[in-house]
Amino acid sequence: MQKALSTHKQLALLFMLFLTIACIGQERKKDTIALIKENRERATNAMFKQDFETAILSLNEANKLALNSNDALLKSDIRYNIAELHYNLQNFQKASEEINKSITLIEALEKDANKEAEIAKAYTLKGLILIKTGDYKTSETFLKDAYKIFIQLNDEAGQSHVILGLGLLELQKKNYKSAINYFDATIPLLKTNEFIYEEAEAYLRKAEAFLNLKDGNQSTNLSKAKTSLNEALALIDANLFSKLKADSYKVVSYIALRENDYAKSQENLELYETKSEELYKVYMDAVSKGVDVESSIGDLNEIIATQKDDLDKKKKSIKFTQMTTGLSIALIVILSLLTLSLYKNNNLRAKANGLLKDKNTELQLAKEKAEKASLAKAQFLSTITHELRTPLYAVTGLTHLLLEENPKEHQKEHLNSLKFSGEYLLSLINNILDLNKLEANKVELERTTFSLKKRINDVLIALKKSADDKKNKLHLEFDKDIPNKLVGDPLKLSQVLINLIGNSLKFTQNGQVTVRVQNIEQKTNKVLLHFEIEDNGVGISRKKQKSIFETFSQGSLQINRKFGGTGLGLSIVKNLLELMNSKINLESQLGKGSKFWFNLTLSVSDEFQDDNNPENTVYDINYAELENKSVLVVEDNKINQMITKKILEKNHMKCMVADNGMDAIKIVKENEFDVILMDIHMPGISGIEATQKIREFDKQIPIIALTAVTVDENLDDFYRAGFNDIIPKPFKTEEFFEKIYRIIKSKKLPVDN
């Protein structure tokens, strides 16, 4: 009797316990939804303030709480917020994963106005993410689908985000005029709806578009870019938008570059790099914090939910007996232990996956940073080359003029030293540019018929003075079985030989430098040649032989001080030979000399064409025919005007000067000239634009680009613009007059547009 009573008490206690748990469950459900919304609100505020660490921790907490919720719309909204956060952190892979989950959850909902608005919002963010990952076609599809839905819902706020996205897409596609139209359309809508961050971004990107716009007046475009930038900065500074502030330094740098304020341009470019690096660290810290908290919560909760379902089914079938209660308790203990074990294993796996994702993100960011650095390097080299060549033209030009004015003997010695220094500096600039083009894979091989023996003899003649200065003897051992008619790139082969032979001459004193060329194997139309350059100079240590072909590498600091040089020549040789499917080899011993050698396969030609104007030959110029010829010099630099004019007038040519492109057009309309020498970078319209306008009314007059701009990569563009030829500054006086003489004599027409 007492035993039965005890059993009934136990059953009553269990029943009360179940009722209590059920009530607590209902209250917890209400509290959970409130907590989810509270965390999401905290994250949204933190994102606006760019407190990314708080935002990512709050969203992770909200996501963890939402996993057990049946509210699919709430779940999708949190996934959207997570995607938006990772988009702002430039973690585009994670952003793409989260927005796809959000879209999947929304598409499963029943169709109503809320669903349509949410799917349009998600499509907009998906489109923005795809712009960043380079999938422009798919991005446009998502953005236009979102725009259709917002139009149907009459949602101007949503439309403003889509139009901004389309503007960003056109900017990335380099359709700058279209991008400006989109930004102009969205800015009033963003202002009305108080989307301050998006309004600031629209102004900033509009400034970028105006800077890159080629249509219309460039001075007007620059002015509009500055106005738009000022609008952006007012919003950015007032709200402390750090990402947009960092990007604004780059825009300021480009504007300063266009205004020829190179110091300001460099300063802001450095600020951009510094602030971007700081932001990168902030982003990585935020992502790292999120990874520490985030784990495969979904998998774990799915296991717990399954176990709970199994337990509920068992509870329906068990009888309220002491034995069944004991068994249930035992089962719960076992399942709890199993859950704990699975949780620990899952946590370890999640951390490993998180670490892997983190490393992948770091690699992607490092890749993007390297690409940006490479682009900045190319832009810097292009700018600095022009800035160096312009004053260097003044140095070499004035030196040439002074040497022709019968200076005293001691003055002549100084002037010759100045001339040598100018030519050395020009050689250094050219070497840096050659190496930059080789490393960027922008150099292509030509195929021309040439005489190898004549090429090598030309190189030896060019280097004879260097050999004599060092009291060295130059020897050539040329295999008589080598065909006289070969096909290849003689200019690049000459560049390889000049660097190798010049290197041997530099490090040899009172010695011998021998050049050997042997025919190893010959087939019907191919010949394999072996080239050797051997000297008995200082030699190279075994340790330095491993790095001697690297950029800026030399044998030692003492060698650099004694012999000079930059260590670029052998790096250029290595890159050029690799371009020609060959490889440079070295044998050397300290104090006994060095031997460089390589094998090269060339085609055998059936037809022989000698060089029309090979390197180091005497220029065939009839200066008498140039006398009294009329020349227009278009140049904005006063010193360069004076130098070019004096060089021409010393050779009895008539010279008139125009300070800019617009003046040049007017002068050409009013006067007759035999040739025009046109600078490229000038205030107002450029030399290219001025030439195009002159060609509209005069197709015959010869126009030569006389410029410090590096034009190797876009020669066709210059010829299409209407130029007959190009003379890079600084120039050799003989080359200068040879090109003018040849152009006037031949009256060669430019390429027809």
- Give the pLDDT confidence of 30-73 residue by residue, as tens digits: 567 777 777 777 877 777 677 777 777 777 777 777 666 677 77
* Domain 623-746 CATH (choose: 3.90.1300.10, 3.40.50.300, 3.40.50.2300, 3.30.1330.10): 3.40.50.2300
> Which range has the top average pLDDT, 306-310, 355-359, 602-606, 710-714?
602-606
> What is the torsion angle, in degrees rounded to the nearest 10, for the CA atoms of residue 50, residue 53, residue 54 and residue 60?
120
The pLDDT-based confidence of 377 (bands split at 50, 70, 90) is: low
Taking a C-beta distance cutoff of 8 angstroms, is the pair 376, 250 a contact? no
* Residue 618: HSE in the Cβ half-sphere, 13 Å Cα cutoff: 3
**Kind of pairing between the strands at 675-678 and 703-707:** parallel
Find out whether 458 and 614 touch, Cβ atoms under 8 Å.
yes
Tell me the two tokens of residue 125: 């963010």
Distance CA 398, CA 75 (A): 76
| pLDDT score at 668 | 92
Q: Structure tokens of 500?
A: 């190798």
Q: Which two structure tokens, joined as six digits, stand for 243?
A: 């990402």
- Which of 288-292, 487-491, 507-511 comes out lowest in average pLDDT? 288-292
Most confident of 296-305, 377-386, 717-726: 717-726
**The amino acid at 590:** L
Confirm whether pTM is higher than 0.75.
no
Percent of the chain with pLDDT strictly greater than 90: 23
The mean of the pLDDT values for the chain is: 78
Give the mean model confidence (pLDDT) for residues 523-540: 90
- Contact in structure between 96 and 119 (CB atoms under 8 Å): no
- Locus of tokens 């003018």: 740
CB 603 within 8 A of CB 489: no
pLDDT digits (tens, 9 = 90+) for 437-455: 656 565 667 788 888 998 8
463-499 pLDDT, tens digit per residue, is: 888 888 889 999 999 999 899 889 988 878 888 898 8
Measured CA to CA in angstroms, residue 468 lies from 564, 565, 596 at distances of 18, 19, 21
Tokens of 748: 């060669």
Surface-to-core class of residue 328, CB atoms within 10 Å of its CB (0-12 exposed, 13-18 middle, 19+ buried): middle
Average pLDDT over residues 681-686: 87
Mean pLDDT across 520-530: 89
Mean of pLDDT values over 342-370 = 81
Each domain of the chain, given as residue ranges in start order, spans: 448-604, 623-746
CATH number for 448-604 (one of 3.30.565.10, 3.40.50.11540, 3.40.50.300, 3.90.1170.50): it is 3.30.565.10
Percent of the chain with pLDDT over 70: 75
The most confident of the ranges 82-96, 357-371, 689-703 is: 689-703
The band of 458, judged by pLDDT with boundaries at 50, 70 and 90, is: confident
Q: Single out the residue of 638, 753, 640 nearest to residue 691, CA to CA.
A: 753
Confidence of residue 383 (pLDDT cuts 50, 70, 90): low
Q: Report helix, strand or coil for 203.
A: helix
With a cut of 80, say whether residue 98 has pLDDT above it.
Answer: yes
Q: In the predicted model, what is the mean pLDDT of residues 249-261?
A: 88
Q: Residue 753 pLDDT > 50, yes or no?
A: no
At 681, list the tokens.
């970078």
pLDDT band at 336 (very low <50, low <70, confident <90, very high): confident
What is the structure's pLDDT at 2? Answer: 46
**Is the pLDDT confidence value at 424 over 60?**
no
Asked if 532 and 459 count as a contact pair (C-beta separation under 8 A), the reply is: no
Specify the higher pLDDT residue, 317 or 104. 104
Task: Bin 747: left if φ > 0, else alpha if -120 < ψ < 50, else beta.
Answer: left
Residue ranges with strand state E in 553-646: 585-589, 593-604, 630-634
Q: What is the DSSP string of 563-574?
A: H---S-HHHHHH
Q: What per-residue confidence (pLDDT) applies to 437? A: 60
pLDDT in tens, 636-648: 888 888 888 888 9
Supply the pLDDT for residue 42: 80
- E strand segments, 40-169: none
Of 470 and 371, the structure prediction assigns the larger pLDDT to: 470
What is the C-alpha separation between 498 and 391, in angstroms, rounded?
27
How sure is the predictor about 390, in pLDDT bands with cuts at 50, 70 and 90?
Answer: low
Task: Note if the bond before 490 is cis, omega within 30 degrees.
Answer: no
What tens digit of pLDDT does each residue of 600-615 get?
999 988 754 444 444 4
**What pLDDT, on the 0 to 100 scale, is given for residue 281?**
76
Q: Are 159 and 118 a contacting pair, CB within 8 Å?
A: no
In the prediction, which pLDDT does 561 show?
A: 39
What's the whole-number mean pLDDT along residues 320-341? 70
